[in-house]
Structure 1
Amino acid sequence: MTNAPSVPEIKAQELLDQYDCLLIDAYGVLIHRDGPIQHAAAFIDALNAQNKPYVILTNDASRSAQSASDNLKSKGFSIEPEHVITSGSLVVPYFQENNLQGAKCYVFGPQKSHDLVTQAGGIVIDPKEDDEVDVVIAMDDAGFDFLTMIEDVLSAVFRRLDAGHKVQFLVPNPDLIYQKNEREVGLTAGSIALIIEEALHVRYYDEAPTFLKLGKPHHYIYEQALKKTKTRNMAMIGDQIRTDILGANKFGIASILVATGLTQLRSGHVPEEQRPDFLLHSLAL
C-alpha cells in the first residue's frame, strides 16, 4: 500500500512534451453533465494546433465515435470521430471476432445503444416477448425503466439457463458510478451488471455466468487504442483510479489522475496497482 500524497504532480504542458500520444477520458476530465470543465476546451485546441496525437478513451457505451464527437462538439470541443474510442463502439469488433452476428440480445440502454448492437450484427429483442436470448448487454443506465427491465431480463435469463441454454453477458462500460457535476454522482451500466451477477450467483452459485468487461480498466479498449496510435509512449489522463488509472498501469502506460473528477486523493492509502504516476490539478497550459 502506498500513501496517496506521495504521488508527484505534473503540469499539462509537461504531458505534451513527454508523451507521443495522450489518451483522455471524457467525463470528469473534459466535461461534467452540466458542461465543459474549465480549461479543457483550450487544452484540446492546443493539441489540435500542434497536431499532437490524442484519443478520447471513454467508457460511454451509449454512443458511437461519431455520436460522441457530435456531443463533444456541441459542448465546445473541436474533436473529430477519428480521435474517439467509446466502449460502446467496441461491441462491433467484439461481435466480429466472436462470430456473434445474428445473436439475439437483451440491451440495457437507449435507442443509440440498440443501434450500436444492431450495427454489430446483433438482434435486439424484448425480454417480455422472447426468451431465446443469446447475449445480455448492459450498455447504459438510461432509456428504460430501471427496476422493470432488470426484473424482466433476470426472469427471462433464469428460464433460458434453467432450460440448459448458454447465455453470454457483456458490459462495455464496467464503471459503477460517474460524476454528474461537482455535487452529484450517478450509477452506470457496471452497477446494472453487478446487480445481475449477484442475482445469478444466488441462483447458480459457483456456476453462475459473469459479465465480460470491454472498457477501462480492461485490456480490450487499450488494445484498440494501441492499434490506432501505434505507440506505447502514451499517457492516460483520467479521474477514476479503478478504471482509468488501474487500466493504464496494467497495460504498461503512464497514468495521470486529474483533480477535476470523481477520485480525490487527499488522504489515506491507495493500492500500488491503482496508484497514478502523476497528479494533474488542471488542464491549463
Structure 2
Amino acid sequence: MTLAATDRPLVASHDAVLLDLDGVVYRGGHAVPGAVEALNQARDVRLAYLTNNANRPPEAVAEHLRELGLHPAVEDIVTSAQAIAGVIAHDVPPGSPVLVIGGEGLRSALRARGLEPVDDRHAPGLAAVVQGYMPDLGWRDLAEAAYAVQAGAPWYASNTDLTIPTAEGIAPGNGALVHAVRLATGREPVVAGKPYAPLFEETMERIAPSSPLMVGDRLDTDIRGARQAGIASLFVLTGVNTLVDVVNADPQERPDLVGAGLASLHQPHPAVAVERGAARCGEAVAEIHDGAIRVAREGAETETLRAIVGLGWACRDESGLDVTVDERIDA
C-alpha cells in the first residue's frame, strides 16, 4: 500500500470531511492548536464531527465547538451514543427500558429512539444494558452492568477506545471500563463506535456525501474504521498515535494520507517515490540506515512526513521488521 496523492489542496478533492473530535479538534476543553483556523477555512465542504465519546449529547458537543470558534449545527454532530441507540432500537420493542451505565449523552439518544433509560437493573421488562464513557463512572456502576449482563440482559457498548486524550495527557477510555465488565462476565458487547460500522452508517445516512474524507488521530478506531467503511482517511499527529506508530502500522490500519494537523487539509500531498533505501516527496528526502529513518533533506511539513511514512511502509513490507524514526523528528 502507498500513500494517496494530490497536487491541489486536499480538501478540494472531497465534498465532506468527517472529523474525530478528541485529539483532532480538541483535547479536553481546549482546541488543538491550528484546528479551528483550518476548519473555518474549509468553506466549500460539509463538516461532520464523529465522536466515540458517548458522555455528552450532541447539543452540548455543538455548544463546546461554538465556544472554540467553530460553527456547527447540532445535525453535524454524530455520536457513538446515537449510533448504539439506533442499534438497540432495532433489536428491542419500542418503549423498552434500557439500563444505562454512562452519561446524559446515552440517555438522550435512547429517548430520541423511543426507548426508556433506567438506572435500576430490576426494572420490569428490562430489555438491555448499554455502557458508555462518563468521567464519574465508578466500581458500583460497573458491578451493576456486570450483574445485569450475567442475568441475561443483552449488552451494548458505545465504543471500546482503551484510552482518551485529555488536556493533561492520555487517560483510560470507555474500552478499559468495558473490559472490566468483560472480565467479570465472559461476555462480549455489541459495539457501535469506530472502528465498527454503526457510527459510519449513521453519518453516511445523515449527510450522504459522495466523496468523504475521515480525519483521525487513532489508527485502531478512526483509520481502521474508515478503511472498513471504504472511506478515504487522513491521519494527524495531534492525538493518541505517533509517527512511529503510523510508520509501523499494519496494512488494515494504514491511512491514505498523513499530516501534522488539520492545516494539512489545505495543502497538496505530492506523490512519494521510494528507491534504494530512500524516499522523495516534493523537496523532502528521507533515508533509512540499519532500520532507522532520518531526514536527509527537509521539505514542507507534509512532504517530510509523507517521505518518512512512505519509506517506512516500503521497508517494513519488504523486511517485515519494525522501523524506528530519528527521535528529533518523531511527532
TM-score using structure 1 length: 0.82
Q: Please state how far the C-alpha of 1:142 moved relative to its aligned partner.
A: 2.3
User: Is 2:111 the partner of 1:118?
Assistant: yes
Larger Rg belongs to? 2
Q: Please state how far the C-alpha of 1:69 moved relative to its aligned partner.
A: 0.7
Alpha-carbon distance in structure 2 between the residues aligned to 1:193 and 1:20: 35
Q: Please state how far the C-alpha of 1:119 moved relative to its aligned partner.
A: 3.1
Does structure 2 conserve the Cα–Cα contact (< 8 Å) formed by 1:255 and 1:277? yes
User: Is 2:111 the partner of 1:133?
Assistant: no
User: Is 2:32 the partner of 1:37?
Assistant: yes
SS at match of 1:256: strand
Extract unaligned runs of 5+ from structure 1.
162-166, 202-207
Aligned to 2:159: 173
User: Is 2:16 the partner of 1:21?
Assistant: yes
User: Is 2:146 the partner of 1:154?
Assistant: yes
Question: Structure 2 counterpart of 1:33, which letter?
Answer: G
Query: Which of 211-220 and 90-99 deviates more?
Result: 90-99
Alpha-carbon distance in structure 1 between the residues aligned to 2:10 and 2:185: 44
User: Is 2:257 the partner of 1:278?
Assistant: yes
Does structure 2 conserve the Cα–Cα contact (< 8 Å) formed by 1:127 and 1:156? no
Q: Please state how far the C-alpha of 1:230 moved relative to its aligned partner.
A: 2.3
SS at match of 2:205: helix
Q: Out of 221, 230, 233, which is 2:211 matched to?
A: 233
Q: Does the C-alpha gap of structure 1 residues 116 and 20 become closer, same or farther in structure 2, counting only changes over 3 Å?
A: closer
Q: Please state how far the C-alpha of 1:151 moved relative to its aligned partner.
A: 1.8
SS at match of 2:243: coil
Aligned to 2:169: 184
Does structure 1 conserve the Cα–Cα contact (< 8 Å) formed by 2:21 and 2:49? yes
Q: Out of 78, 82, 98, which is 1:89 matched to?
A: 82
Aligned to 2:96: 103
SS at match of 1:170: strand
Alpha-carbon distance in structure 1 between the residues aligned to 2:123 and 2:85: 23
Q: Please state how far the C-alpha of 1:257 moved relative to its aligned partner.
A: 0.7
Extract unaligned runs of 5+ from structure 2.
267-331
Alpha-carbon distance in structure 1 between the residues aligned to 2:109 and 2:231: 29
Q: Please state how far the C-alpha of 1:124 moved relative to its aligned partner.
A: 2.9
Q: Please state how far the C-alpha of 1:240 moved relative to its aligned partner.
A: 0.2
Q: Please state how far the C-alpha of 1:105 moved relative to its aligned partner.
A: 2.0
Q: Please state how far the C-alpha of 1:190 moved relative to its aligned partner.
A: 2.1
* CA root-mean-square deviation: 2.5
Alpha-carbon distance in structure 2 between the residues aligned to 1:45 and 1:127: 44
Question: Structure 1 counterpart of 2:66, which letter?
Answer: K
Q: Please state how far the C-alpha of 1:76 moved relative to its aligned partner.
A: 2.2
The superposition leaves residues 124-146 of structure 1 with CA deviations (integer Å, 9 ceiling, x where unpaired) of 333476486321111223243x1
Q: Out of 231, 234, 240, which is 1:262 matched to?
A: 240
Q: Please state how far the C-alpha of 1:92 moved relative to its aligned partner.
A: 4.1
Q: Please state how far the C-alpha of 1:10 moved relative to its aligned partner.
A: 8.0
SS at match of 1:270: coil
Q: Out of 177, 196, 199, which is 2:181 matched to?
A: 196
Question: Structure 2 counterpart of 1:198, which letter?
Answer: L
SS at match of 1:224: helix
TM-score using structure 2 length: 0.72
Q: Does the C-alpha gap of structure 1 residues 120 and 188 become closer, same or farther in structure 2, counting only changes over 3 Å?
A: farther
Does structure 2 conserve the Cα–Cα contact (< 8 Å) formed by 1:141 and 1:188? no
Q: Please state how far the C-alpha of 1:216 moved relative to its aligned partner.
A: 0.7
The superposition leaves residues 18-72 of structure 1 with CA deviations (integer Å, 9 ceiling, x where unpaired) of 222111111111100140011111122112xx23112111112123322211121
Runs of 4 or more off by more than 6 Å in structure 1?
8-11
Aligned to 1:205: none
Query: Which of 20-29 and 91-100 deviates more?
Result: 91-100
Does structure 1 conserve the Cα–Cα contact (< 8 Å) formed by 2:62 and 2:73? yes
Aligned to 1:216: 194
Q: Does the C-alpha gap of structure 1 residues 51 and 278 become closer, same or farther in structure 2, counting only changes over 3 Å?
A: closer
